[in-house]
């Protein structure tokens, strides 16, 4: 009985502390959940749609590849609306991660928030869970969490795009190098880039088929 009472006496404060942390809005766990929710909801805003309305362009989901992203907007409306879409989609990935960093949360928490933002763009709540490829949102999140790795990946994207003029190919090559680059330069973000690679490659599965068949459209 004495040993049982001693064990209970050690466990009880731990349970009480966990319960108190769960109720504390300033605790890291609560803050992370709140920021993940914000990141997903903000990521669910497909900025290509209001941008196209502003420029009086057709809905990008009904034209070209049907993807609500900067590349498809460029094909249908030109450089200015495409750059606006790219900047806004990147911003919605950058802002939640930056807030998480400023809040003093861990790199793991920042990585989870980044993934939530990208997932929001891919599976948006506001558009029946039919979204985009997540490349621009991943770019913004990466710039907030691992800027050196992300800038190197952006340079790879630019190089492939310059040589072959195929956006999907450039995105797939750049994201595939992400885990290796992060492992060498910013290893604490390796898990993030590994998961982002899986998500973005899966979202590009139809592009991969068209690339293999030589039917993927370029510029």
Task: State both tokens at 52.
Answer: 């196209």
Report how far residue 34's alpha carbon sits from residue 25's, in angstroms, rounded to the nearest whole number.
9
Residue 150 neighbours by CB distance under 10 Å: 24
Task: State both tokens at 33.
Answer: 């959940």
Residue with the two structure tokens 């930056």: 98
Residue 93 exposure: Cα atoms within 13 Å on the Cβ side: 29
Note whether residue 8 is domain-resident: no
Residue 160 neighbours by CB distance under 10 Å: 18
Total number of domains constituting the chain: 1
Its domain, for residue 38, covers 15-213
Note whether residue 148 is domain-resident: yes
Note whether residue 54 is domain-resident: yes
pLDDT score at 65: 85
Report how far residue 119's alpha carbon sits from residue 134's, in angstroms, rounded to the nearest whole number.
7
Encode pLDDT of 84-137 as tens digits: 999 999 999 999 999 999 999 999 999 999 999 999 999 999 999 999 999 999
Residue 174 neighbours by CB distance under 10 Å: 26
Note whether residue 218 is domain-resident: no
pLDDT score at 217: 83
**Which DSSP category does 103 fall into?**
T
Q: Residue 131 class from Cβ within 10 Å (0-12 exposed, 13-18 middle, 19+ buried)?
A: buried
pLDDT score at 155: 98
Q: Residue 13 class from Cβ within 10 Å (0-12 exposed, 13-18 middle, 19+ buried)?
A: exposed
Note whether residue 176 is domain-resident: yes
Note whether residue 144 is domain-resident: yes
Task: State both tokens at 63.
Answer: 């034209």
Note whether residue 2 is domain-resident: no
Write out residues in the chain with pLDDT < 50, as ranges: 1, 7-8, 12, 14, 18
Note whether residue 219 is domain-resident: no
Global confidence as pTM: 0.88
**Which DSSP category does 61 fall into?**
G
Give the helix/strand (H/E) hosting 208. helix 205-213
Report how far residue 214's alpha carbon sits from residue 75's, in angstroms, rounded to the nearest whole number.
19
């Amino acid at each position: 009985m004495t040993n049982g009472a001693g064990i209970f006496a050690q466990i009880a404060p731990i349970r009480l502390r966990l319960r108190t942390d769960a109720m504390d809005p300033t605790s890291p766990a609560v803050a992370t959940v709140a920021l993940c929710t914000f990141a997903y909801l903000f990521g669910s805003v497909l900025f290509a749609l209001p941008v196209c309305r502003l420029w009086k362009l057709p809905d990008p989901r009904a034209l070209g590849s049907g993807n609500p992203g900067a590349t498809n907007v460029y094909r249908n409306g030109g450089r200015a609306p495409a750059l606006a879409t790219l900047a806004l989609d990147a911003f919605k990935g950058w802002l939640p991660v930056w807030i998480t960093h400023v809040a003093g949360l861990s790199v793991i928490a920042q990585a989870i928030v980044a993934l939530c933002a990208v997932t929001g763009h891919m599976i948006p709540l506001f558009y029946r869970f039919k979204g985009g490829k997540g490349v621009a949102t991943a770019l913004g999140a990466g710039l907030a969490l691992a800027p050196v790795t992300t800038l190197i990946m952006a340079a790879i994207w630019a190089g492939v795009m310059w040589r072959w003029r195929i956006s999907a190919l450039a995105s797939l090559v750049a994201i595939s190098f992400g885990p290796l680059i992060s492992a060498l330069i910013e290893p604490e973000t390796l898990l993030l880039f590994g998961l982002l690679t899986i998500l973005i490659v899966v979202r590009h599965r139809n592009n991969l088929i068209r690339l293999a068949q030589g039917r993927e459209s370029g510029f």
